[in-house]
Structure 1
Amino acid sequence: MNFAGRKVLVLGLGDTGLSMAKWLARRGASVRVADTRTAPPRLAELKRSLPSVPANCGPFRDETFADIDLVAVSPGVPLAEPTVRRVLDSGTEVVGDVELFAQALAERHPRIIAVTGTNGKSTVTSLAGAMARAAGVDCEVAGNIGPAVLDALMRREDAERNAGLWVLELSSFQLETTTSLAADAATVLNVTEDHLDRYRGIDDYARAKARVFSGDGIQVLNRDDPRSLAMALPGRKTSTFGLDAPRRAEDWGLLERGGEPWLAQGANALLAVGEMRLAGLHNAANALAALALCRALGLPLQPLLAALREFKGLPHRVELVGEADGVRWYDDSKGTNVGSTVAALAGLAQGDTKLVLIAGGDGKGQDFSPLRSAVKRSVRGLVLIGRDAPLIEAAVAGAGVPIRRAASMDQAVALAAQAARPGDAVLLSPACASFDMFRDYRHRGEVFRLAVERVIDAPKH
């Protein structure tokens, strides 16, 4: 698309909004930016790098949207916001950063892997990128995981070095404004309740996720998730993954060999789950998804398996942060919804392991009732923090598990240490957003890790 001289309004001035402003200005557009916050996070950088681009900070006003040819929306700006809705209804074109990226790549024809889903996106995206690099592919990992796709593309342009493969993590918010991305292989890993403060319901949320399958690439679907599996499209090639035995030669799953689970494709056992550095069966599913995506592009298998053996995982995703007195401490602060926490509990509660769970925060309107059976099955004690602690306590009532409330992360960790026994694991997996108590999930995880270090290092009497 030719942007020269076009009047473009960028909504939102975080990392994505700034990347769109830079990209559009680079292509000769007349850009202005608006953000409802009075001091958006990248305002200073906008003024430094694009001093001629005006920024309107504060509540959206109708005049902000006057005389505009195109609106570029950041993922954090809801399309249902009344002023944005009026723009959509007026017929003005509305795009997001991934759509701008897709249009830019249309003539370059690199290969693309696209990953979405409620949980596991970042792990699968990072792992697929590591696998592709191990297979000798010049690969760029970008999107919701960071960096923003347009930032990564501009760096590539400046270096005059095109990527052979893009591995993209895409959120439902990004997919809402994406129409022309045609990934060679794409997956919806799973769909569980999340962001229901922004969607009419889980079906609406799932429809946004399913937009990742535009084009005619290979669909990688989760056999263990009915909503993912139901996204199979007529005439499209599919590959599935799940924690059962593969059903077809092209499918991925687990086979038992010598009493141990092995990652497998079809009837071929490939790698013992115990050889992975990633903890938990949910990460076995993530590994299968990454393998399916990379093999869908024809990448050679052995380098993929070698990369998988070495992949340590990402911070704040069921990350082992300490071990003492027979108790292992895991940081899953990225577990910001119920489905993620249920998966983490199931993944760690193998054999006789019991868990002490620290949960709570801003629940974003979720139904917490699915936690009840998971807590009953594998949790020895539950410590609740944050604004929606009462809602979680009510949802798991009757599970037969002692529940304590904590006013701070330090107190939560101390209570968890009291409840844990040798052989147990303590898991921070809040099932909630962090903003009621912390800057973000990273801050929450760091506060947890420091609190764990203090407990482990405390003198024993």
Structure 2
Amino acid sequence: MIALLGYGKTNQALLKLLNEQKTQCIVLDDCIVEEKKDERGNVFLPSVQRSKISPSLEIPSPGIPPSHPMILDSQNLVSEYDFLLKDQKQIWISGTNGKTTTTEMLEWILRDFGGASGGNIGTPLASLVAQEPKIWILETSSFSLHYTHSVFPNVYLLLPVREDHISWHGSFEAYQKAKLSPLVRMSSACTALIPREFETYDEVLQSQAKIITYESSLDLARAFGFELSKISLSEPFLLDALLALCGAKVLVGRDLSEKLADYRIGAHKIEEFYDQGGRLWVDDSKGTNVDATIWALRAYREKKIYLILGGDDKGADLHPLFEELINYDVEIFGIGSNVSKLQKLSVDFEIPFHPCFQLECAVQEISLRHSLESVALLSPAAASLDQFSSYKERGELFQKMAQVLGKSL
């Protein structure tokens, strides 16, 4: 019997696939309050009952942390990657910021070659099985990498790695180790593009893969023969584009930069819009860590910035963000579960701070101050799940409220 630990989107798709293959499962989840059985014969149990079962295989939802009692009690743990992936042509994309954009770009430019994306975004891995893509383009989180121990990609694209998910991994070093872990398994037929800062790490030195290091978009353009003038994107999206183009060139042997001409950056990523009064608002709700917020800030260095920060910062050190903020004309409007932490840092760095707690309050307070010369920026440097179902819901509420308040001018 296979046990699925956690019943989020990933394992829901996996259960459906296994049932189609006539395999029954045991599902354990914190949200299940009592034992039940469905019409397919699957058994659903509260997670606290994990010790009562002896499954032959246990597959965790990627978001379940290794400190969870279900994981600690497990004996035969494998990731969905180890369970589902075999000899498919695969390209994995990981890093801290830009994974989703790079993955979307790769799917866009490889769609004529049978490429399809999934994993941490969009289509769950189990659902991608039915599509049978010629090229599997997988956004791969540090959570999935932590639990994966046997399979590896043909091409691995690692974006810059900055502090994130510290509370899940336990330390920044463990987070980095998860990001580098595929390199140890990759063969000499594989290629990895990684930040140069990792070139002396053990995982890199032990790897048999062809490893190409970079510090900038220019490094990648030079290494693969791309002309930056032909790519109409600015940073941070330029780096995402270069990694996508490099990965595609490794896989298909061609320069596909012309296919990016009609690509558009997705929602909630430094997404600019104007209210009816002509004031600039920027929805960067996807900016869920310090590095992402720093990138967003740099685009508006010459303006007065009204910045909404806060949420679940996942235990990250926020000092680098505040060290950046002292170089700007900025006021902070704090929301979410880490308001007190943000307020203390604002006092320490002598940055004006407004404890709003709720996004609605922050937008209202900003609207009273906002002008044609300033910018209102939602780039929280934190996850949204303390108050919202997703960064998307947070961004949509921000845009809706900004437009409503703009009408009242």
Common fold by TM > 0.5: yes
Q: Does 1:139 align with 2:115?
A: yes
CA distance in 1, matches of 2:374, 2:212: 37
State the 1:272 CA deviation.
Answer: 5.2
Residue 294 (structure 2) aligns with: 342
State the 1:398 CA deviation.
Answer: 4.9
Residue 260 (structure 1) aligns with: none
- After superposition, residues 85-164 of structure 1 pair within 5 angstroms as 85-88=72-75, 93-102=76-85, 105-106=86-87, 110-133=88-111, 136-154=112-130, 156=131, 162-164=132-134
Residue 19 (structure 2) aligns with: 25
Give the conservation status (yes or no) of the 8 Å contact 2:3–2:27: yes
Pick closer, same or farther for the CA change 1:170–1:266 going to 2, 3 Å.
Answer: closer
Pick closer, same or farther for the CA change 1:444–1:312 going to 2, 3 Å.
Answer: same
CA distance in 2, matches of 1:14, 1:318: 28
Amino acid at match of 2:235: L
- The alignment-based identity, stated in percent, is 25
State the 1:204 CA deviation.
Answer: 0.6
Residue 139 (structure 2) aligns with: 169
Residue 56 (structure 1) aligns with: 45
Give the conservation status (yes or no) of the 8 Å contact 1:96–1:174: yes
CA distance in 2, matches of 1:26, 1:310: 38
Pick closer, same or farther for the CA change 1:268–1:192 going to 2, 3 Å.
Answer: closer
Of 8, 14, 18, the residue aligned with 1:14 is 8
Q: Unpaired segments of 5 or more residues in structure 1? A: 1-6, 157-161, 253-263
User: 1:377 aligns to what SS in structure 2?
Assistant: coil
Residue 272 (structure 2) aligns with: 320
Give the conservation status (yes or no) of the 8 Å contact 2:277–2:407: no
Amino acid at match of 1:85: L
CA distance in 2, matches of 1:324, 1:380: 23
Q: Does 1:236 align with 2:209?
A: yes
Pick closer, same or farther for the CA change 1:69–1:266 going to 2, 3 Å.
Answer: closer
Q: Does 1:215 align with 2:186?
A: yes
- After superposition, residues 437-456 of structure 1 pair within 5 angstroms as 437-456=387-406
Give the conservation status (yes or no) of the 8 Å contact 2:81–2:148: yes
State the 1:422 CA deviation.
Answer: 2.6
Pick closer, same or farther for the CA change 1:151–1:286 going to 2, 3 Å.
Answer: same
CA distance in 2, matches of 1:354, 1:219: 41
Pick closer, same or farther for the CA change 1:51–1:27 going to 2, 3 Å.
Answer: closer
Q: Does 1:413 align with 2:367?
A: no
CA distance in 2, matches of 1:191, 1:165: 25
CA distance in 1, matches of 2:363, 2:200: 39
Give the conservation status (yes or no) of the 8 Å contact 1:116–1:209: yes
CA distance in 2, matches of 1:325, 1:28: 59
CA RMSD of aligned residues (A): 2.7
CA distance in 2, matches of 1:315, 1:37: 31
Give the conservation status (yes or no) of the 8 Å contact 2:93–2:156: yes
State the 1:13 CA deviation.
Answer: 1.1
User: 1:411 aligns to what SS in structure 2?
Assistant: helix
In the TM superposition, what whole-angstrom CA distance separates every residue of 1:372-423 from its partner, at most 9, and x where no partner exists? Answer: 1221223422111122112122224354532222143222112223444434
User: 1:150 aligns to what SS in structure 2?
Assistant: helix
State the 1:318 CA deviation.
Answer: 1.7
Q: Does 1:377 align with 2:327?
A: yes
Return 237-246 or 78-87, whichever deviates more.
Answer: 237-246
Amino acid at match of 2:142: S
CA distance in 2, matches of 1:286, 1:379: 29
Amino acid at match of 1:417: S
In the TM superposition, what whole-angstrom CA distance separates every residue of 1:35-81 from its partner, at most 9, and x where no partner exists? Answer: 121379xx99x94xx63211113534410x33x21111111222332
State the 1:151 CA deviation.
Answer: 0.9
CA distance in 1, matches of 2:263, 2:49: 44
